[in-house]
Amino acid sequence: MSGTSFALRWILAGALVLGSAFGAFAQEDAFKSFRQLDSTAKMPKLNAFSALPGAPAGVATKDVLFDAKLTADGEVMQEGLAWRVFSPIAGDDGKLPLVASSEGGSASFQLVPGDYFVNCAFGRAGITKKLTVPTAGDVPKQTLVLDAGGFVLNAVAGADQRIPPNELSFSIYSSEVRENGDRALVMADVKPNTIVRLNAGTYHVVSEYGDINAVVRADIQVEAGKLTQAVLQHRAAQIALKLVSQPGGEAIADTAWSVLTAAGDIVNESVSAFSTMVLAEGEYLAVARNKNKTYQREFTVKAGQNIEVEVLMRETPQMAGAAEALIDEN
């Protein structure tokens, strides 16, 4: 493959973002990058024909050809597109009637003279164009420029600690903040290493590691014709708690666990011999209850350092009572 690739590194809102953009490649190479990483099944091209509802019988149709590019100077896309042609007159349900559709690359439709809205979608990226098919003369080929790109998301803990994919999820939001402080959700529950196709622009990405308090955010730029690989950095680690009668001993079953922050807020509760969780970097207190007795231990979470925390069955009445009071307050 010709051209050069390059890596960019930013620190954004506590997140490390590694960008691998194929801007120096030809547009065809950029499109191949989308195709090679895309695990979704490709549907064959389906040419479709439909006359407008209520069109007079015997009216001659016109051949209309469509193709699309990621950028104005790019190559014509050969796959991954969804074409939809709509009548501009809403039906009884208030929706625009679908006149014709096609999946694949370029599309060819037979349309009666009149006005239409043509939509071309590439994943979550898309463009809509108004088209008028004249009564006389041929219709020139229609080329739509999507102005689209995409990214592939992943994350690490600490500097480079791999995170199991099933522990990660991403949500993608608009970069604009509404008056109420919210952002418009673009996609939810995006899995790692999934291609996300979007219109060019800036998006706000939220990554969740586990389901407690390990969350990072970053603004990521999508450039037309480029596929960016972004890796976010979590300041968190996996923790396993167990109650033991002696160091290195077997975990004691039927133990109720509460994990509190240094400020006294409860972040997790569970009942098990081993209590496993992902926690953001910081200071915590583990409180174990077993057979009406309470035990506790302070511990520290450091980014990327997965640890096992043993709580010894050595009750300190004053400390145990303070922990009980703290839990009751919450």
Which helix (H) or strand (E) segment is 11 a member of?
Answer: strand 6-12
Local confidence pLDDT in tens for the 330 residues of the chain: 333 222 233 333 334 444 333 332 333 344 454 544 443 333 333 344 444 444 555 668 899 999 999 999 999 999 999 999 999 999 889 899 999 999 999 999 999 999 999 999 999 999 999 999 999 888 999 999 999 999 999 999 999 999 999 999 999 999 988 888 899 999 999 999 999 999 999 999 999 999 999 999 999 999 999 999 999 999 999 999 999 999 999 999 999 999 999 999 999 999 999 999 999 999 999 999 999 899 999 999 999 999 999 999 975 544 444 445 444 554
Domain holding 104: CATH number?
2.60.40.1120
Same domain, 208 and 255: no
What is the three-class DSSP state of 64?
Answer: strand
Q: How far apart are CA 271 and CA 273, in angstroms?
A: 7
Q: What's the CA gap between 239 and 258, in Å, rounded?
A: 13
Q: Which two tokens stand for residue 289?
A: 């209850």
Q: What is the CATH number of the domain that holds 204?
A: 2.60.40
CA 281 to centroid of chain Cα atoms: 23
Res 178: pLDDT: 87
Same domain, 322 and 254: yes
pLDDT at 217: 96
pLDDT recorded at residue 314? 77
| Distance, CA of 10 to CA of 239 (rounded, Å) | 28
Residue 280 lies in a domain: yes
Total structural domains within the chain: 3
Same domain for 244 and 286, yes or no, is yes
Q: What was the pLDDT predicted at 316?
A: 52
Regarding whether 291 and 224 lie in a shared domain, the answer is no
Are 219 and 240 in the same domain?
A: no
- Residue that finishes a domain, picked among 91, 121, 143: 143
Query: 172 and 31, same structural domain?
Result: yes
In a domain, 137, yes or no: yes
Q: What pLDDT score does 308 carry? A: 96
**29 and 161 together in one domain:** yes
**Where a domain ends, among 85, 111, 143?**
143
The answer to whether residue 1 is domain-embedded is no
Burial pattern 89-120, b for ≥16 Cβ within 10 A else e, equals eeeeeeebbebbbbbbbbbbbbbbbbebebbb
Q: What is the pLDDT of residue 329?
A: 53
The per-residue pLDDT for 76 is 95
Considering the domain architecture, whether residues 300 and 259 belong to the same structural domain is answered as: yes
Domain assignment present for 105 = yes
329 contacts 306 by C-beta, under 8 angstroms: no
| Max intra-chain CA distance, the chain | 94
Torsion sign (Cα): 32, 33, 39, 42: negative
Domain that holds residue 104: 48-143
Indicate whether 207 and 68 sit together in one domain: no
In this structure, the answer to whether residues 263 and 224 fall within a common structural domain is: no
The predicted structure's pLDDT at residue 30: 46
CA distance 324 to 239: 22
Residue 9 CA to residue 18 CA, distance in Å, equals 5
Return d(Cα 63, Cα 112) in angstroms, integer.
9
Residue 96 covered by a domain: yes
Same domain, 226 and 260: no
Residues 256 and 112 in one domain: no
Please give the distance of CA 266 from its chain centroid, rounded to a whole number.
29
Final residue belonging to a domain, choices 88, 118, 143: 143
